[in-house]
Amino acid sequence: MPRSIIFLSGIIFVLTAAVFAQQRDPSFQVGGGTLDVNLDSDLSQQTHNQLMTWVHNAANSVVAYYGRFPLDHTYLQLRSFNGRGVHNGHTFGVHNGGLIRISVGTETPISELKDDWMLTHEMVHLTFPSVPEDHHWIEEGTAVYVEPFARLRAGNANKEQVWGEMARDMHQGLPEEDDEGLDHTHTWGRTYWGGALFCMLADIEIHQRTHNQKGLEDALRAIMNAGGVITEDWELSRAFEVGDKAVGVPVLEELYNKMKDRPVSVDLDKLWQDLGVSHQGGFATFDDRAPLAVVREAINAGKPGRPIKVSVSLDKLMSTAAR
């Protein structure tokens, strides 16, 4: 065989191998970590490309919030099903990294993948240590609360949507009858939205007590950077200690002591008003004259904000329902 043909078939082999490898197991670097993606082999190349855009967007969102990707290695298994939507996200710590399993319908339109929150939510789980079962609400709460702001900061969501949906859904985290606090009430609402409510209150209070210079992300980044990621088992007190130290005010510990074993309710209508958030149908409009408008904007941007002129006592918005 002439040398040129050997050379040419060599190139074709390399190209075919590259395309084949890309189809089978795309792998990419993001924020200092490697993501190995395993896609169902019956998906078309076009679907692969769309799914990979979705994966990149979610990973970039997590990096936008945390400053880097939380783990060196993460394995993402994407399974397909006939139909549309994104379902069944699960995230685990495995011996050599993180593992996320998630299912995507073969008829899911690109627009729906663009608006999907679930994959970002799963990736946020990688950033926090595994804590004892009673505190499962903090694992879900951080994922529920951080996900929209992570997507906002990466340009994958807009603030009208983020605050509109949060203001629409947050009431699901309020205590109902017979509630015994976050550590002892393992309902869906208290686990997901009760945890998110805890995170939102902590975020606002950190901003208020640091003159709008720091936020919840500073505490959460510190926990992640101290090695508190999903593969590690930590006591919750250790996570809060690390987080509080990073922001210089013991907001997490204090709020936890208030909410862990008592049904603490929050006047959410007043809180949205103080933040300058009006909402209708999952879409918000904003009042920049509200006392906490500068906090709201600092949370959106993830950067120190303008000084707070009138602070709001969150204690006055909180009440313990009689048991």
β-strand pairing of 318-320 with 264-266: antiparallel
Q: Between 143 and 294, name the residue whose CB sits nearer to Zn ion.
A: 143
Question: Residue 16 CB, nearest distance to Zn ion (Å)?
Answer: 39
Question: Residue 244 CB, nearest distance to Zn ion (Å)?
Answer: 24
Q: Give the nearest residue (CB) to Zn ion.
A: 143
Q: Note the residues at the interface with Zn ion (CB under 5 A).
A: 140, 143
Q: Between 144 and 206, name the residue whose CB sits nearer to Zn ion.
A: 144
Question: Residue 33 CB, nearest distance to Zn ion (Å)?
Answer: 19
Q: Between 140 and 217, name the residue whose CB sits nearer to Zn ion.
A: 140
Rounded to a whole number, what is the distance in angstroms from the first to the last CA of the chain? 88
Question: Residue 140 CB, nearest distance to Zn ion (Å)?
Answer: 5
Q: Between 140 and 203, name the residue whose CB sits nearer to Zn ion.
A: 140
Question: Residue 170 CB, nearest distance to Zn ion (Å)?
Answer: 17
The answer to whether the CB of 62 falls within 8 A of the CB of 149 is no
CA distance 297 to 302: 8
Task: For the chain, give the number of residues.
Answer: 323
Angle at 248 between CA 264 and CA 93, to 5 degrees: 70
Question: Residue 169 CB, nearest distance to Zn ion (Å)?
Answer: 15
CA distance 149 to 239: 21
Question: Residue 118 CB, nearest distance to Zn ion (Å)?
Answer: 9
The answer to whether the CB of 133 falls within 8 A of the CB of 111 is no
Q: Between 140 and 165, name the residue whose CB sits nearer to Zn ion.
A: 140
Phi, psi of 18 (to 5 degrees): -65, -45
Q: Between 85 and 250, name the residue whose CB sits nearer to Zn ion.
A: 85
Kindly provide the b/e burial profile for residues 162-186, where b requires at least 16 CB atoms within 10 angstroms of the residue's own CB.
bbbbbbeebebbbbeeebebbbebe
Question: Residue 293 CB, nearest distance to Zn ion (Å)?
Answer: 30
Q: Between 143 and 201, name the residue whose CB sits nearer to Zn ion.
A: 143
CA distance 213 to 295: 9
Q: Please give the distance of CA 163 from its chain centroid, rounded to a whole number.
A: 15
β-strand pairing of 73-81 with 97-105: parallel
The answer to whether the CB of 82 falls within 8 A of the CB of 101 is no
> What tokens were used for 322?
């009689």
Q: Between 143 and 167, name the residue whose CB sits nearer to Zn ion.
A: 143
